[in-house]
Structure 1
Amino acid sequence: MSRLWTLGRHQWFVLLVGLAAGGLSFYWWWDSRTEVYTDNAYVVGNITPISSYVTGQVVALFVDDNMIVQPGDPIAQINPVEFQIAVDQALADYQQAGHAADAADVTTHYTTDDRKSMLVAAQATRAEAEQAVQAATVAVQTHGRLHEKEVEVLGALKAQMPGLVARQRNALFYYERFKSLAKSGDVPGQEFDNRETAYSEAIAKVESLQSDIKGAERQVLASELQLQEARVRLEQSRKALANTDATVGRAEAEQMQLTVAADTALGLRNQQALAEAKLRQAKLDLSNTLIRAPRAGVISRRTIQVGKTVEAHSPFLSIVPLDFDNVWIIANMREKQMPNVRVGQAVKITVDAISKQTFDGWVESVAGGSGSVFSLFPPDNATGNFVRVVQRLPVRIRFGLKENFENRIRPGMSTRITIDTAHYVRNSPHEW
């Protein structure tokens, strides 16, 4: 120990330099074990291209390059005149379709009532005609039986006539015989009177039977006429029933008009719905003539001017977001730097454009593959001579700030990042 105090100034300097070099070497060794650094890191963001939903001429422009806009701020106004005309035409078509549909509904309602009433009336008439046919059939049967009985009665009366006529002749024979015998006094006058009375009674019976026969003939004729009339009425009722069947058939066929009317009304309602959809589309197109910013950010790469016609769905400017929900860093790490890198580890960030400021961040995720596999022509190491090339994995890093530092951190900027693999600031179920 006493010898250290006897060292010269030069020897002390050499000793201090050696100690410093050793300390730096230890720090570098320890730092290389816990920290990973790269300057191949750039700010990336969700850049939003802005286009118009409709084609038209720009009549007003409200933004310029590098302006900061907020959600809903107007960007440009397309000439709305022709779109307003389209709205008016669509409105007129919609109203006309509505009136036509209403009229069709009324027609359907009255047609339904009318056709149903016709069918009910026709069915009632047919029921009456059926009853009339049944009544006429019964009448024919009744008059037929009556006529048969009348004919039977007439036949029975006529069958009695020969016997009565024979009795009349027999009574006449005895009357004339006893008359001559009475004149000669061979028989008493009382016997003659009896024969005369018998003869008169025979004549009376024949005349009475003849009268009954004539009456029966009149009854037969009358019943025959009634039977013919009943048959005529039956035929007429059958024809009437046939006519009512035809009427019912027509009424049933006209029920199809209800379906036609309902289908017509439905078609007109569909046309009204189509006209309403066209009206909504026309109103939407009119509202889309005023183009608004969908998000906050910086206007960039504006290509439109007042008076220029923009095409639908053709981008004419971009909005570059500045909020840290849409801005992050992609650090392309070498493979050999990745063994200890995990999601949630703390990161120190330096932006070249803000070199005096250091920002905190954290590892959010690691890409699914190296950058080369997503290139236009990915390498195929199975062909040609093999050359081993160290690959880089894109690592997404989020800023720890809630708001963009003075809105100065913007996509495309170069950064330098240092990942502290020994320090975690976020918890994650995934290591990568």
Structure 2
Amino acid sequence: MTTAATPVQTSGGLSERARWHRRAALIPLAYLAALMVVALVHPWLPAWRWLGMHLLLLGAVTNAILVWSAHFTAAILRIPAPAHRRADVTQLTVHNAGVMAVLASGAFDRPWLGVAGAVAVFAAVVSQLLWLARKLRAAVPSRFAITVRYYLAATTALLTGIPVGAWMLVVDDTTRPRLLLVHAHVNLLGWVTLTVLGTVLTFWPTVLRTRMADSAATASRTALPTAVTGLAVLAVGLLSWWPLLAAGGLALFAMAVALTAGPAWRAGRVKPPASYAAWSIAAAGGWLILALAVDARILLTAGTAAQAADRYSTMLTPLLIGFVAQVLLGSLSYLLPMALGGGPAAVRERTSVLDRRSAQRVTMANTALVVFLLPVGSYIRITTSLLILAALVQFLIPVTRVLLTARRKP
């Protein structure tokens, strides 16, 4: 896989890097739009929860991680700009063909189609792992190379979670709840959360427009082996259904989150969040901590793996919407205006478009999510879910406008 660290200007006015990020951004945005459609028509979709979850995680989030982890790796390791993007295009094509097969498998109950899709996704992620390892090995020493090691660990976690998910498609016995728990934890905590924790080191102070805390790099280096060990212990405890062991692994992972959160908190005290991106990412961190606490309670109180798997859905909403979706939207709101280039004035203009009504959007989405999670009536749940969807629309419309405007400008 290749990526650009420095822009190459083209005759169309946009740099090659900007053109690439503009095209690549359309993929997660398309999945988010599809997710919104699924949410609106879900009463007529029997597998809408599963479909929505995979549209977000396997579609929008994984595409964004594949593109932007390569972008950050290139910046950190000072990788020269590539001559072409054929490897990137091939990787995303294979990945999204796999995603389509997985989604079709769930929608039409065709398990082996899902297995074939998982193989394609696996191949795309292997290419990411090999590219990251090759670039890290060849690069000169860098203070922030630990971020790339987080990406390697996260990619390895996904390569563990994909076969487990494929296995779930073709088995239906007493092991299935354990497989479901391993699949969910390894993918959500390993693939998504490890990527976020590694990126926070340099990205969060940049979003706040302040310097990172002095202890940030040291904390990140300590947190990575703690998180990886915790994730491995958690997976073994879940697969064997030893709840105390699983809870211990989760505690180690939570400790790693706390280690990285400390410097992030200190940076936020120096320069408090003042944009949609910053507030969205900050709120996401709070939901992650809450979700980990709920997860621990589930593991320690469930009598069987089947009970734990049933109760796990109670933490999926705060984890997926509160943490994952808000991190994604907040990060793209900051990254896309920068990646599209055009000079400081153009970046400020795009950022202002994506930052409009930021207080209302963040407050509405998070308040609605809190109320949705309370024991309220069905009409209130419908209203709050529509408010959450409205916050998504308030992101999709301006970001589409930014992408279209960038295309037209010389």
TM (normalized to structure 2)? 0.15
Structure with bigger strand share is 1
TM (normalized to structure 1)? 0.14
Larger Rg: 1
Structure with bigger helix share is 2
* Higher relative contact order (Cα pairs below 8 Å, separated by 6+ residues): 1
